[in-house]
Amino acid sequence: MCIRLFRYFAICALCLTTHFASASIVYNTLSPVDSEAIGFGWFAGNPGNGANYITADEFVPSQSGFISRAYAPVWYVEGVAAPLQFQIRSDISNGPGAVLDTSVVDPLVPGGLLTAEFLNGLWLEAGTKYWFSIATTDASTMLIWNINSQGLRGAHSSTGALFQGPGEWLTQADADLGALRIDVRDPATVPEPSVIWLALISLALSNRLIRRRNGTDA
């Protein structure tokens, strides 16, 4: 009876932990049929003349939660096909601020929809402005982040061009937005750490009781 009770509790608690992966879309400019035009977008990396752009768009999540994934269609143009960074930034005076979280992803050759996993537990607050930016990790890499195909517009910013100072962002208040989707883990479905620990302890105790009983039966 004791073993069954431990097993029942462990299974119930672990079922709760499976909800950890459930996510909600809190920002989306991707086309439902992935119809973003190849080659039409914002430069990231080296577009010539020695510049090395970081490109960024503002976004405001519709729901609070821990960021889990970001999706963006990115097409390789030239240079080394090195990893790139998907970054979440704060907003400072209606422009990109400090990097809050980063996920490194490998570009597809020639390109396509990239998915970045964010595992550091960054909390996004509903109704708060953030910036999503793309940066390359090799100075020779040039990529294009596709503009959305739905005509959605908002603030776009970039840094790294020859006419800009170090860390200076050039922001356009009304520009075509890059195609982007942001997912968060719904906080209502994230189990408390104590629930996970109790589940693991229950499983360990039940296994120990089973081994002890088997040893007695033998």
**Hey, where are the domains in the chain?**
1-22+190-218, 23-185
Mean pLDDT lowest for which of 127-131, 149-153, 182-186, 197-201?
A: 197-201
HSE of 134, CA atoms in CB hemisphere, 13 A: 34
Whole-number Cα distances in Å, 82 to 40, 56, 85, 108: 21, 19, 10, 10
| The pLDDT of residue 21 is above 60 | no
Q: How confident is the model at residue 195, as a pLDDT?
A: 46
Assigned CATH for 23-185: 2.60.120
The residues with which 27 forms a beta bridge, in sequence order, are 182
Residue type, 81: A
| The pLDDT of residue 138 is above 60 | yes
Distance CA 55, CA 93 (A): 17
Q: How confident is the model at residue 52, as a pLDDT?
A: 80
| The pLDDT of residue 67 is above 70 | yes
Q: How confident is the model at residue 31, as a pLDDT?
A: 83
Cβ-based neighbour number of residue 183 at 10 Å: 22
Q: How confident is the model at residue 171, as a pLDDT?
A: 94
The answer to whether the beta carbons of residues 6 and 102 sit under 8 Å apart is no
Q: How confident is the model at residue 165, as a pLDDT?
A: 72
Query: What SS3 state is found at 196?
Result: helix
Assigned token pair, 95: 């422009």
Q: How confident is the model at residue 139, as a pLDDT?
A: 85
Angle at 16 between CA 13 and CA 18, to 5 degrees: 120
Assigned token pair, 73: 């269609």
Q: How confident is the model at residue 38, as a pLDDT?
A: 67
Q: How confident is the model at residue 63, as a pLDDT?
A: 96
Q: How confident is the model at residue 120, as a pLDDT?
A: 95
Q: Which residue has the tokens 């009304």?
A: 174
Q: How confident is the model at residue 213, as a pLDDT?
A: 63
Assigned token pair, 154: 């908002």
| The pLDDT of residue 92 is above 90 | yes
Q: Whole-number mean pLDDT of the chain? A: 82
Share of the chain above pLDDT 70, in %: 70
Assigned token pair, 93: 């005076």
pLDDT in tens, 34-44: 667 666 899 99
Say which residue, 218 or 206, is predicted with more confidence.
206
